[in-house]
Structure formats: structure tokens, C-alpha cells
């Protein structure tokens, strides 16, 4: 199903002097809904990539007990670098 059929979008187009579409104006609710959908698709893609890496032997599963300290270290490092 296409995005246009799945969501009714009330989009307004910006056109140039030749009448060609060069941009789009969305309401904030529509924009936020699209962002949420993209984030969900990003999560699905990451899951699929991780599953494929595990199945191919390229990676191995990590327990939550092992992952949490590593995540916290990486967050702290990002904070120190001013990335978060």
C-alpha cells in the first residue's frame, strides 16, 4: 500500500515561476506522523540487518546484561564529546 493511500495528506505545494513543484508544505501533525513512520521503518530495518548478521554468523547475540554497560559507556563518551 502506498503512503498516499495509507495516509490522507493535506499537502500544499510550493511552485517555481514555471509552475513546477519545488517544495511541499505540511501541517505539523502530518509532519510528525511521517517522522514517526520513518523512525518505525528505521527500527524495522535495523532489526532485519541485525537478524541477518546473526544468521550469517557475522555477529552474535548479546545479552541485555552485557549490552547495558556498553550502551552506557557509549552514551557517556558521546556526552563528553558534546554529541548528545
| pLDDT, tens digit (0-9, with 9 covering 90-100), for 4-59 | 556 677 889 999 999 999 999 999 999 999 999 999 999 999 999 999 999 999 99
What's the pLDDT at 1? 55
3-state SS, residue 77: helix
State the Cα–Cα distance between residues 19 and 24, nearest whole angstrom: 13
How many domains is the chain partitioned into structurally?
1
What's the pLDDT at 84? 66
User: pLDDT-based confidence at 82, cuts 50/70/90?
Assistant: confident
Domain encompassing residue 46: 3-80
Q: Where are the alpha helices (DSSP H) in the chain?
A: 3-6, 28-56, 64-80
Amino acid at each position: 500500500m502506498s503512503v498516499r493511500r495509507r495516509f490522507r495528506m493535506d499537502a500544499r505545494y510550493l511552485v517555481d515561476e514555471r509552475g513546477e513543484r519545488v517544495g511541499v508544505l505540511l501541517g505539523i501533525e502530518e509532519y510528525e506522523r511521517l517522522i514517526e513512520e520513518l523512525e518505525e521503518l528505521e527500527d524495522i530495518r535495523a532489526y532485519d540487518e541485525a537478524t541477518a548478521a546473526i544468521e550469517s554468523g557475522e555477529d552474535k547475540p548479546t545479552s541485555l546484561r552485557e549490552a547495558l554497560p556498553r550502551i552506557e559507556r557509549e552514551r557517556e563518551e558521546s556526552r563528553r564529546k558534546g554529541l548528545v
